[in-house]
Amino acid sequence: GGGGGSVTVYQGRRPRPPAGGRPRRGHPTAPDGLAALAGAAAGGDWDLVVDTWSAAPRAVLDAARLLADRAARLVYVSSCSVYAWAPPAGYTEDAPLVTGASPDAGQTDYARDKLGGELAAVSAFGAERSLLVRSGLILGPHENIGRLPWWLGRIARGGRVPAPGPRDLPLQYVDVRDLAQWILGAAERGAAGPHNLMSPRGHTTMGELLDACVRATGSGAELRWIEPEAVLGAGVEPWTQLPVWVPPGSDMHDALHGADVSRAVEAGLRCRDVSETVADTWAWLREVGGTVPPRPGRPPVGLPPEAEARLLSR
């Protein structure tokens, strides 16, 4: 908001706000949970509100209604999960969406909750003052899902590491810092409406990602590349047990690594090289002791030792 670019951070669980942020404590689903954003206690009006809420859409609606006359623009960080499964490779923002979402609903499932959040943002701020960021896979420092941290941790231990092929499998993701920079720039330029937000298709490959992990950790690990059919034949689960990876030609690959992001690129998206994302994530992991507590409510990711042994035997 005003005052030379000051940042207000509305939060509940975090023990302290990010550096430079002015905390306002509360939880959007608690009684009077939005009181910290109302009246003079909030410290004035804002140029921009960024909402990342992922549960009951009515929490987005309540906050957006409260702030609609006090903020110039609302950015809602949504997800490419809002598209009806499975969107074909090359899908744009006009692809069909999931059904059954409502802006004032309670919590249902992730896809409908995120679409409900989009509807809530537009309901309160209008189409011209709301920017909907349909993000894909997000990587980079502070990732608490554990996808890239798992690969880095496993490769840091060295030895033979099963690598799901093919090496040239195209990947699509966004570094969280590039996501944040795009949000600020696009909002400042008046962008509105839905935008698929991840790197252009084929920004990197599975081989480049894992090679960057080997370089960053300096472990001397030996990547043993395994054909997709052999990976699936060993009963290994794509995406969860082998994070980031999904087999080529599958619905999952089209949906997770096949979005058209030309609209975001036209609105200023710039994506750093995969080696920088990997190296900076490894540096952060070393700062926090090498492990990150799992995010509450999320299942663990990574390959159990017995599954790794099955893969290496192939």
Phi, psi of 11 (to 5 degrees): -155, 160
Residues sharing a CB contact under 8 Å with residue 12, sequence separation 6 or more, in sequence order: 25, 26, 27
Assess whether 162 and 296 both reside in one domain. yes
Task: Note whether residue 109 is domain-resident.
Answer: yes
- Please tell me the pTM assigned to this model: 0.93
Q: Are 154 and 51 found together in one domain?
A: no
The verdict on 8 and 125 lying in the same domain is yes
Do 31 and 115 sit in the same domain of this protein? yes
Instruction: Tell which residue, 59, 53, 87, has the closest CA to residue 196.
Output: 87
Distance of CA 40 to the CA centre of its chain: 33
Residue 253's nearest CA partner among 242, 263, 264 is 242
> Comparing C-alpha atoms, which of 155, 242, 261 is closest to residue 202?
261
Instruction: Indicate whether 167 and 114 sit together in one domain.
Output: no
Asked if residue 267 has a cis previous peptide bond (ω within 30° of 0), the answer is no
Residue 180, domain member (yes or no): no
pLDDT under 50 in the chain at which residues? 1-3, 40-43
Q: Is the dihedral of CA 64, 20, 287, 164 positive or negative?
A: positive
* Same domain flag for 29 and 97: yes
Tell whether 233 is covered by a domain.
yes
Q: Would you say residue 154 lies in a domain? A: yes
- Number of domains observed in the structure of the chain: 2
Q: Are residues 95 and 222 in the same domain?
A: no
Residue type, 286: R
215 and 302 together in one domain: yes
* C-alpha torsion 153→290→158→204, nearest 10: 40
Q: Note whether residue 184 is domain-resident.
A: no
Per-residue model confidence (pLDDT) at position 299: 83
Q: Which residue has the tokens 């087999």?
A: 247
> How far apart, in whole angstroms, are the C-alpha atoms of residue 169 and residue 202?
8
Question: 28 with 149, same domain?
Answer: no
Which domain covers residue 154, as residue numbers?
A: 144-171+204-256+280-312
How many angstroms from the chain centroid is the CA of residue 6? 25
Q: Which of 135, 160, 190 is the last residue of a domain?
A: 135
Do 128 and 7 sit in the same domain of this protein?
yes
Domain contains 192: no
Query: Domain check: are 155 and 60 in the same one?
Result: no
* Same domain, residue pair 107 and 166: no
What's residue 39's pLDDT? Answer: 59
Query: Which residue carries 């069909």 as its tokens?
Result: 96
- What are φ and ψ of residue 305, in 5° steps? -55, -40
pLDDT at 9: 83
* Distance separating the N- and C-terminal Cα atoms of the chain: 57
Mean pLDDT of the chain: 92
* Phi/psi at 167 (5° precision): -55, -35
Would residue 48 count as lying in a domain?
yes
The closest of 190, 207, 60 to 120, measured between CA atoms, is 60
Q: Is 132 in contact with 194 (CB distance < 8 Å)?
A: yes
Residue 306 lies in a domain: yes
pLDDT value of position 15: 58
83: left (phi over 0), alpha (psi -120 to 50) or beta: beta
Largest CA distance in the chain: 65
Which of 108, 135, 162 is the endpoint of a domain? Answer: 135
